[in-house]
Structure 1
């Protein structure tokens, strides 16, 4: 208590001191009655955080759930009766940690990636028949148009193909020079091949990102950009075919192009899903439709990125090292069969699984 200048006792100070003492005693009593349960919950949560919920036994998991409910009740009471802040902060932290253990998905990064590869991506592809049709249609129409135009008039090649991409491979080049670009020794040095592979991956990734992100504008820009890539492909093939190198360039393109071109078409499909959500939202609002379609669209974009990694490795290494056209065809279309098999069969439930799901 406080004593004033005139020697009298300050009654207000006495009341405040008494209130503080009462709050302290009440907090101590509250903690004493429940602290053992909090410590047990803290130990279980710590073990689950280190080793996952699988590290706990059945009884421990049951005690964890019961302890979490009890801690939440204690936190509610502590807030209602205004106990000390340190106790409330401790209970808030403990309840938040327990919530994550009880309700958050108990899945490692590796498990999440495996689930995405084994089920998520294949199922998203099978749900995207119309967008995939749009993506591959754009590429095929572009390739046919580019081939037809350049076959009839080689000057179209200069319209479709940028000079830096042509790199002296033009309709004016001789057949021997064009053949040398397919089978010639391009310096099979590991450092050069690695740098070339990294460049190809960066270049192709830029194209795929553009195709995917532009799809939100009612799919038209994605379709046109994919169509343009088809034009370049058709123009190149027509140029080599006119020199009698059609089979050779087909094998040269196949070893990496089956994977790379499919990735471009799939990126267009992902963009088309976003564009169709804006154009044809159905019963949903456009915002809801876009959010709904984005789940599968992102999975298609991840698939395209994965395929580009594989294509960059094949184009940067295997295409330079393998000169036999038969082997180039076998590798390229073998990879195509792998992608088709994985995407068609992955994530399908067996009969027993479907019955259990019911």
Structure 2
């Protein structure tokens, strides 16, 4: 009895082993057959991709370039089949690697970092800024209104100054300060150290305000407008304080060194947020999400440049303003920067934008 049972079990295992071997052989044959049927297209695609990767695009024939998208789609289809049918790992790894390389050739970026920078600073950024025309006017009106509101608040009740102006220990810029104290905050700081740390702090603070103005645009731009009012109200409070001691002109010169760049950057950030909010509130015939996505892409291009402007403003505030210890040179630099930004954004055109 036990001998018969052993024979039965041995026969069952033998059949199971044979079935496993047969299945493995069939899978191997299926994998080989699958590869042989499509390998010519894979090799052709690999050859095209390799030449393009080596920068030898000129050696690729027109026929191969036209066939490239179809070959890529065929490869992706083959990869999907290979995954579903559990073909051998070597074939699967080969297809996955080739698919990744081919994707960058077919759909990847067409220019490198240098080309992108040339396109961005060579007209892409300025064109994006000009596309925000109505939103720039709205943001500018809001910033002027915020400055007026700040002035009126502190002139009616000086206690508002402490609510608007962040408190710093030992800061003499407070209501009741003498002319000499306020004058000392504007001049005589050319030999101060730690300016690089100060400029990094300023960049971080201004970048935070600008990014918030942009990011909160999705709430129909209401938070963006409020942030613009809050930040420019501080400017109005400062103007009121220094005006009381006859130092308005000196304060304007002190602020203009970096302010024409910094305030312009904040203006662009606010306009970007307003642009998104306005697109969501008035999408027209488009869906709200489509309108927001399109406006967001345009505003994101502007915001990329805003970061660059804030870096420039931080350097000017942390260094140039201290090195120029007189009002006229400061004002001259501030006006020169303003003329530069206005010319770049609104006068500069790429050749193809003029239709030449």
Q: Write out aligned runs for 1:1-358 (5 A).
A: 5=7, 17=21, 20-21=24-25, 24-25=28-29, 27-28=31-32, 31=35, 38-39=42-43, 41-49=45-53, 51=54, 54-59=55-60, 62-63=63-64, 66=67, 69=70, 73=74, 79=81, 84-86=87-89, 87-150=91-154, 154=158, 156-164=160-168, 167-185=171-189, 187-189=191-193, 192-350=194-352, 354=355
Deviation at 1:270, TM superposition (A): 1.0
CA distance in 2, matches of 1:74, 1:246: 70
C-alpha spacing 1:167/1:58, structure 2 compared with 1 (3 Å): same
What per-residue deviation string (whole Å, max 9, x for no partner) do you get for residues 298-329 of structure 1? 12222222211111000001101111212111
Deviation at 1:22, TM superposition (A): 5.6
Q: How many residues matched?
A: 346
What per-residue deviation string (whole Å, max 9, x for no partner) do you get for residues 118-150 of structure 1? 233211111111111111111111112333454
Deviation at 1:197, TM superposition (A): 0.6
Conserved in 2, the CA contact under 8 Å of 1:37 and 1:67? Answer: no
TM-score w.r.t. length of structure 1: 0.82
Conserved in 2, the CA contact under 8 Å of 1:122 and 1:345? Answer: no
Conserved in 2, the CA contact under 8 Å of 1:149 and 1:156? Answer: yes
1:284 counterpart SS class: coil
Give the stretch that moved more between structures: 82-91 or 125-134: 82-91
TM-score w.r.t. length of structure 2: 0.82
C-alpha spacing 1:248/1:287, structure 2 compared with 1 (3 Å): same
Conserved in 1, the CA contact under 8 Å of 2:172 and 2:181? Answer: no
Conserved in 2, the CA contact under 8 Å of 1:134 and 1:223? Answer: no
Unpaired runs of at least 5, structure 2: 1-5
Unpaired runs of at least 5, structure 1: none
Deviation at 1:288, TM superposition (A): 1.8
Conserved in 1, the CA contact under 8 Å of 2:51 and 2:60? Answer: no
CA distance in 2, matches of 1:170, 1:134: 31
Give the stretch that moved more between structures: 220-229 or 249-258: 220-229
CA distance in 1, matches of 2:73, 2:164: 67
C-alpha spacing 1:75/1:268, structure 2 compared with 1 (3 Å): closer
CA distance in 2, matches of 1:165, 1:346: 45
What per-residue deviation string (whole Å, max 9, x for no partner) do you get for residues 246-266 of structure 1? 211111011111111111121
